[in-house]
């Protein structure tokens, strides 16, 4: 059997190793355990975010298709959005997504579809499409369409509570994408946020999320959990 190769600055960088060593009390064996756990936690977090994002984007997409069809005569709001919708959308992200989608469709020798563009939209698009007090168009779009994506939310929730939960998930996604350690991050709270938003979409959506994601057992195996 090959010997275990311990985590070292050669592999992960001086600053990252020192940060983990500090949290491990200078014990290199414990630092290795923390590093391994962080890799597993990052993978499990992205799996959960993957499911969450699909549930969220399809719920919002369904309502915007209905709204855009009534306002602009087509459900394909990512291809032919009503002008009012353009005030709420991040047009730079929309343009980038549409360009990528057209390229993929061209590679398959077919015209671009709404679903092609939808697949290119990032989690940030859905976060920043939700209502904002600084943007009246987003507030209005929430009232006339997007709030209908969350028919099962508790009566005492506000729109801001949805926004805050989605923002927490987006922040976790960015943290994982930038390889930030998670052993002192409140993953349990963000998992609850994902489950809560899915439940607001529907109890079946929450069950679907919970039965697929595997973040909870990873959280419980955190070597630093007693320090959180």
Q: pLDDT tens across 32-91, in order? A: 899 999 999 999 999 999 999 999 999 999 999 999 999 999 999 999 999 989 889 888
In a domain, 100, yes or no: no
**Cβ atoms within 10 A of the Cβ of 33, count?**
17
| Confidence (pTM) | 0.91
pLDDT the model gives residue 173? 97
On whether residue 168 sits in a domain, the answer given is yes
In 3D, which of 120, 5, 113, 17 has the Cα closest to residue 65? Answer: 113
159 in a domain, yes or no? yes
- 């590679």: which residue's tokens? 107
Instruction: Answer whether residue 157 is part of any domain.
Output: yes
Q: Does the residue 65 lie in any domain?
A: yes
The reply to whether 61 falls in a domain is yes
Q: What is the arithmetic mean of pLDDT over 153-177?
A: 91
Per the structure, the count of domains in the chain is 1
Q: Is residue 130 part of a domain?
A: no
Does residue 1 surpass a pLDDT of 70?
Answer: no
pLDDT over 80 at 227, yes or no = no
Is residue 228 scored above 50 in pLDDT? no
Q: Helices marked H in the chain — which ranges?
A: 9-12, 14-23, 28-72, 83-88, 91-107, 114-119, 123-127, 136-144, 159-177, 187-201, 203-212, 215-220
CA–CA distance, 215 with 84 (Å, rounded to integer) = 39
What's the domain range around 22? 10-74+140-227
With respect to residue 187, please indicate whether it lies within any of the assigned structural domains: yes
pLDDT confidence bin for 19, thresholds 50/70/90: confident
Q: Say what percent of the chain tops pLDDT 90.
A: 73
DSSP labels for 136-191?
HHHHHHHHHTGGGG-TT--TT--HHHHHHHHHHHHHHHHHHHTT---TTS-HHHHH
Tell me the pLDDT tens digit for each residue of 178-212: 989 999 999 999 999 999 999 999 999 999 999 99
pLDDT above 60 (res 29)? yes
């Amino acid at each position: 059997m090959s010997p275990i190769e311990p985590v070292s600055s050669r592999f992960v960088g001086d600053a990252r190793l020192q940060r983990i060593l500090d949290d491990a009390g200078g014990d290199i064996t414990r630092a290795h355990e923390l590093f391994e756990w962080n890799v597993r936690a990052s993978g499990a977090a992205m799996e959960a975010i993957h499911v969450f994002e699909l549930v969220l984007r399809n719920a919002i997409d369904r309502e915007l298709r209905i709204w855009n069809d009534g306002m602009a005569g087509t459900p394909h709001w990512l291809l032919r959005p009503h002008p009012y919708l353009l005030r709420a959308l991040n047009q730079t992200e929309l343009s980038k997504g549409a360009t990528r989608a057209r390229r993929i469709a061209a590679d398959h020798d077919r015209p671009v579809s709404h679903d092609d563009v939808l697949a290119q939209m990032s989690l940030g698009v859905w976060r920043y499409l939700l209502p904002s007090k600084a943007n009246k168009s987003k507030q209005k779009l929430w009232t006339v369409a997007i709030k209908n994506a969350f028919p099962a939310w508790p009566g005492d929730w506000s729109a801001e509570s949805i926004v805050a939960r989605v923002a927490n998930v987006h922040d976790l996604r960015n943290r994982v994408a930038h390889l930030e350690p998670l052993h002192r991050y409140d993953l349990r709270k963000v998992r609850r946020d994902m489950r809560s938003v899915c439940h607001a979409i529907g109890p079946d959506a929450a069950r679907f999320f919970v039965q697929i994601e595997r973040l909870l057992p990873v959280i419980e195996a955190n070597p630093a959990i007693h320090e959180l």
